[in-house]
Structure 1
Amino acid sequence: MLQALDDAAVGQWCRAAVEALSGARSRLDDINVFPVPDGDTGTNLLHTAEGARAALDAALAGESPWAVLARGAVLAARGNSGTILAQLLRGLADQLADQPPADGPVLAAALRKAAEGAYTAVADPEEGTFLTVARAGGESAVAAVDVGRTALADVVVAAADGARAALDRTPGQLTVLREAGVVDAGGAGLCLVLDALVRTVTGIEPVRPALALPDRHRHGSEHAPHQPPPGPGSEVQYLLADADEVAVTRLQQRLAELGDSLVVVGVDTPTGREWNVHVHVSDVGAAIEAGIEAGRPHRISVTPLAPVPPPAPVPGLRAVVAAVHSDGLAALFRAEGVRVVVCDPDGITEDDLHDEIVASGAQEVVVLPNDAGLLAVASRAATRAREAGREVGVVPTRSPVQGLAAVAVADPGQRFGDDVIAMAEAAAATRWAEVTVADQEALTSAGRCHPGDVLGSAEGDVVVIGPDLASVACDLLDRLLSAGGEMATLVVGPDEELGDAVCGHLSGVHPTIEVVRYGGGPSSLPVQIGVE
């Protein structure tokens, strides 16, 4: 039982929240009928929380986890509910960053203050929504302290219970919720986040009744009880840099005139203050132009509020979707007829892979993650696509060289299951390795490394540490080929001379080995190696 919310607990809470939102994502999407029934509240909340977790994972020593959590959430926030969740976390950070670990009374005050800040971030707040639930959680926490229940466990339980009670009242506050027979989806997501806080502090998971699905699910109707207003409309969202408070105030006024569901949240970053801007408008161009007048908008996204249904999968059509980390690798896989998702600075998400699966139009889809860190993401994307009626197989490729080996044996003429098995066997038969440069001191399987050391890893374990790229790559290949092999595949980054040196070593020391060399690898991985 925690007595105060220290730095480690902040990280544990964030990871518990991501886990809870991941498990409930589909149901939260299903009950999303306000402000428009676009079925993405759970997805947006999860993406926002995952951004916070990723920021914590990449945080530098000495940074306040509260500040990092808020920054990651604001910069990753998607949608109305995701942006409000980010504002709530930023409000907590404003109160708790660089302070002693929060005890019960301190956290209670911070929760109430953060909820007040969330109200001010929304241009036209309505009751029966995320905001109502957040305020109830903060007020319940403070009320517990006022009657002497000051322990941290008492405060977080009071906040979670108060929020859940407010959530149950939301259908009586919004007609669209009452007609659909659901509670507010954003508020439900916040309740999951607060329950994750209870679990972090007490070790006990609160027991809650399942969220009821909309009437259209219960009665089999194909029509939602609430639809977006007639006429054009889009959700516009972007990050805004190089803008001062005066410019942002003018921007808020302009966007309020153009549309609704306006939320603007600011956060400090290492390069200056940035703002996450979200609004529903009919005139997309005017919303973006307003951002240009205020500062420098980037990561602009525009989503129709009445989304076009995805095309039905074509029976018998098969596609392969691969995740890659450079444009060069993307071109390489595309040349083999593979659809690709290229990693951007924020990484590759479940949505990215799922959207590419759907966009393929194929009934049968093979997914190649090509990165050990993307296996779980690919699996979740595949599960969502299967729920929509597609056949999807994930081949657990941990490197692009394994992905290339899998693509080489793909045969659309085979039964889908047999094709997936053959691709998986080809990937598994390819031992993979890579050369990187250490950016910090660490203890590895091959000994201690220091910043600037060249590391050669095989199957994810560091086996060689050396002073230069060429010698480490050659040593790594010698070790791999000592266990046998007929073909070596090299994916070389921008340094062509490095590729020449490695190929020269292979021809001189291992003349019987067939060598296949590709360019276009990411600069972060100067050489990637596959041995079959």
Structure 2
Amino acid sequence: MDYLKIDGQRFYNMFVSASNDLEEQKGFVNSLNVFPVPDGDTGSNMSMTLKTAVSEIKNMKSESLGNIARQLAKGALMGARGNSGVILSQILRGISKGLEGKSEANSTEIANSINEGAKFAYKAVMRPTEGTILTIIRSAGEAALSSNTNNVTDLLKEVCDYSEAILNKTPEMLPALKKAKVVDSGGKGLLIILQGMYRALRDGIEDVELQDFEEIDTQSQAQNLDQEDIKYGYCTEFFVHSKNADIQAFKDKLSSMGDSMVVVSDEDIIKVHIHTNDPGWILSQAIKLGELSKIKIDNMREEHRHVLGIDNVNNKGLDVNNSTDDINQDGNDIKKYAFITVAMGAGLANMFKDLGVDCIIEGGQTMNPSTQDILSAVENINAEKIFIFPNNKNIFMAAKQASEISQKSLIVVPTKTIPQGITAITTFNSDLSVEENVKSMEEAIKGVITGSVTYAVRDTEIDGKIIKEGDILGLVDGNIKQVGDDIFKVCEDILDGIVSEDSDLISIYCGKDCDHNKIEEFTHKVENKYSDMDVQCYNGEQPLYYFIISVE
């Protein structure tokens, strides 16, 4: 169908259609991961980010285009997962900026908004790499601006056609893509979104409904949770429309009335989430600041009785565990420093707890926590300074985004691996300033070489190595160095390649899929081989990776 202008309803339909399409194709997008390891999650991250954004506008169909775009961008900001999700949230933020204050938009205004999305995306990345999602959104903006049509449907078709042509050229821009014989996964995810928007206009799709989030099996969690464990029974969420509100004073007032509190603001709107036993009192305090909207109160004890599953921080499958008892939310005992880290596996979580980490967000390669998940963890901690250790390069941007949104003082330490996170935390010295500690930790993690052992999920060829599905892969700092059929042999070969005469310490973290009957024998072999070094072996219980190893 032809449209000279689109309104809020049409804009809503376009993005719901795009979100549904991406959800259906996220598995394919995941499969485009350059490395054939079982942690390709670009499609999942982008889909969850967009779904969170669209869920924020599901009751706004009749509102203006500008208002819907603005709320869509806010939803994406809070739900952003992984680097691709964070970049997508910035694209939507730019689009929102381009449509600000508009009740409807013509082809020129839509074109300008897409170009604004490209500008915001590039600003969000310190060192932009061409051949990625950034190239695709920039190409989309260029195609939009160069179009001469006044038909919005035709405009989006031109944008999709040109973006697809550029996507097919990404292997020529990035050698890693060419070697893996794939196009960029983030770029493909964005193209699916653009095509979903176009299809909604072309087919005149009306009253499209957002597909439900994938159900998370939380029944076992509910069965293991006693009714008495639910200290605060009502999950209370709402928005406050207010200008010039004292956010910190408002947060201080609410903090003693519940837990799992998240209060974030953006211009003239405040989003509140809190678990409390008195939602009425919470709302009575909030209404003093301004008009309330989207009020949602869930009885968590009732949900528990119906075995629907409960997560005290969020309901998206991620678990945030407080590991100390002195995190006081009543504001009386404020710690000077606190630590948040991301890890997956009970053994690794226990290690971080033993090192004094206050809060552990369960996540990692295949389950990147969102900006909202990180903010939820932050709001459960009462400290002057909070250090965050992402321990994964794909979580770093979400952590940085959380630090920019939060009212608290957050310091994101650029740890890209679990061993780097452990080394950074053990380097911390409470007698030093924040700046001195950050410098010391960043210097320490430079000396950590991280290896890992996993398996191939598909056939491919990388750097002259022929890889078959099911092969055992040995990686060093993310690069495939060994291919074999025995996890212990591959792990030993990886160690041979990274141990040097300057090395002092070898740390081995065994995964849950590792043959633990052979661990002791393998450890003794490593100790004998590197008798002048300290060899430590831990049961990390991490999924997907038989071993995570480090040499310092």
TM score, norm. by length of structure 2: 0.50
Paired position in structure 2 for 1:58: 30
Paired position in structure 1 for 2:207: none
Q: CA deviation at 1:382?
A: 2.4
Paired position in structure 1 for 2:535: 515
C-alpha distance 73-405 of structure 1, shift in aligned 2 (>3 A):
closer
Contact 1:366 1:420 in 2 (8 A): no
Contact 2:456 2:470 in 1 (8 A): yes
Q: CA deviation at 1:473?
A: 0.5
Q: CA–CA distance in 1 between the matches of 2:504 and 2:270?
A: 62
Paired position in structure 2 for 1:377: 398
Paired position in structure 2 for 1:331: 350
Paired position in structure 2 for 1:203: 142
Paired position in structure 1 for 2:490: 472
C-alpha distance 368-445 of structure 1, shift in aligned 2 (>3 A):
farther
Query: Does residue 128 in structure 1 map to residue 63 in structure 2?
Result: yes
Match of 1:424 among 424, 438, 442: 442
Helix, strand or coil for the counterpart of 2:102? helix
Contact 2:112 2:141 in 1 (8 A): no
Paired position in structure 2 for 1:168: 102
Query: Does residue 356 in structure 1 map to residue 377 in structure 2?
Result: yes
C-alpha distance 417-282 of structure 1, shift in aligned 2 (>3 A):
closer
Match of 2:421 among 403, 412, 420: 403
C-alpha distance 48-131 of structure 1, shift in aligned 2 (>3 A):
farther
C-alpha distance 126-436 of structure 1, shift in aligned 2 (>3 A):
closer
Q: CA deviation at 1:346?
A: 4.2
Q: CA deviation at 1:383?
A: 2.6
Helix, strand or coil for the counterpart of 2:340? strand
Paired position in structure 1 for 2:386: 365
Contact 1:490 1:517 in 2 (8 A): yes
What letter is aligned with 1:77? K
Helix, strand or coil for the counterpart of 1:372? coil
C-alpha distance 422-471 of structure 1, shift in aligned 2 (>3 A):
same
What letter is aligned with 1:486? D
Q: CA deviation at 1:491?
A: 0.8
Query: Does residue 530 in structure 1 map to residue 464 in structure 2?
Result: no
Helix, strand or coil for the counterpart of 1:231? helix
What letter is aligned with 2:51? A
Unpaired segments of 5 or more residues in structure 2?
1-14, 34-41, 70-94, 119-136, 146-240, 251-267, 273-278, 284-291, 315-328
C-alpha distance 53-381 of structure 1, shift in aligned 2 (>3 A):
farther
C-alpha distance 364-313 of structure 1, shift in aligned 2 (>3 A):
farther
Q: Identity percentage over the alignment?
A: 16
What letter is aligned with 2:475? S
Per-residue deviation, residues 40-93 of structure 1 (Å, max 9, x unmatched): xxxxxxx999989966631579xxxxxx98997479733xx63266xxxxxxxx
Q: CA deviation at 1:202?
A: 4.7
Helix, strand or coil for the counterpart of 1:360? coil
Pairs within 5 Å for 1:311-322: 317-322=336-341
C-alpha distance 440-73 of structure 1, shift in aligned 2 (>3 A):
closer
What letter is aligned with 1:127? S
Helix, strand or coil for the counterpart of 2:280? coil
Q: CA deviation at 1:394?
A: 2.3
Q: How many residues were matched structurally?
A: 338
Q: CA–CA distance in 2 between the matches of 1:300 and 1:192?
A: 38
Per-residue deviation, residues 299-336 of structure 1 (Å, max 9, x unmatched): 87899xxxxxx876976610121111222211110111
Per-residue deviation, residues 420-448 of structure 1 (Å, max 9, x unmatched): 22222222111111111111112223612
Per-residue deviation, residues 100-119 of structure 1 (Å, max 9, x unmatched): xxxxxxxxxxxxxxxxxx7x
Match of 2:55 among 79, 83, 93: 83
What letter is aligned with 1:492? C
Contact 2:505 2:551 in 1 (8 A): yes
Query: Does residue 343 in structure 1 map to residue 277 in structure 2?
Result: no
Q: CA–CA distance in 2 between the matches of 1:529 and 1:424?
A: 19
Q: CA–CA distance in 2 between the matches of 1:404 and 1:417?
A: 19
Per-residue deviation, residues 348-380 of structure 1 (Å, max 9, x unmatched): 112222332332211112221111222222222
Contact 1:51 1:76 in 2 (8 A): no
CA RMSD of aligned residues (A): 5.1
Query: Does residue 231 in structure 1 map to residue 283 in structure 2?
Result: no
Per-residue deviation, residues 477-523 of structure 1 (Å, max 9, x unmatched): 11111453111011111232343243122122111110111112313
Match of 1:458 among 476, 497, 517: 476
What letter is aligned with 1:381? A
TM score, norm. by length of structure 1: 0.51
Paired position in structure 1 for 2:36: none
Match of 2:453 among 435, 443, 447: 435
Q: CA deviation at 1:471?
A: 0.4
Q: CA deviation at 1:192?
A: 5.7
C-alpha distance 220-437 of structure 1, shift in aligned 2 (>3 A):
closer
Q: CA deviation at 1:217?
A: 3.7
Pairs within 5 Å for 1:132-151: none
Contact 2:460 2:468 in 1 (8 A): yes
Q: CA–CA distance in 2 between the matches of 1:325 and 1:417?
A: 29
C-alpha distance 202-499 of structure 1, shift in aligned 2 (>3 A):
same
Q: CA–CA distance in 1 between the matches of 2:337 and 2:22?
A: 31
Q: CA–CA distance in 2 between the matches of 1:375 and 1:288?
A: 34
Per-residue deviation, residues 208-263 of structure 1 (Å, max 9, x unmatched): xxxxxx872499999979999x93799xxxxxxxxxxxxxxxxxxxxxxxxx99xx
Q: CA–CA distance in 2 between the matches of 1:346 and 1:384?
A: 22
Q: CA–CA distance in 2 between the matches of 1:287 and 1:423?
A: 46
Unpaired segments of 5 or more residues in structure 1?
1-16, 18-46, 62-67, 86-117, 135-159, 171-187, 207-213, 235-259, 262-278, 304-309
Contact 1:490 1:516 in 2 (8 A): yes
Match of 2:299 among 254, 259, 284: 284
Q: CA–CA distance in 1 between the matches of 2:270 and 2:503?
A: 62
Higher RCO (CA-CA < 8 Å; seq separation 6+): 2
Helix, strand or coil for the counterpart of 1:440? coil
Query: Does residue 505 in structure 1 map to residue 479 in structure 2?
Result: no
C-alpha distance 50-221 of structure 1, shift in aligned 2 (>3 A):
farther
Q: CA–CA distance in 2 between the matches of 1:287 and 1:49?
A: 34
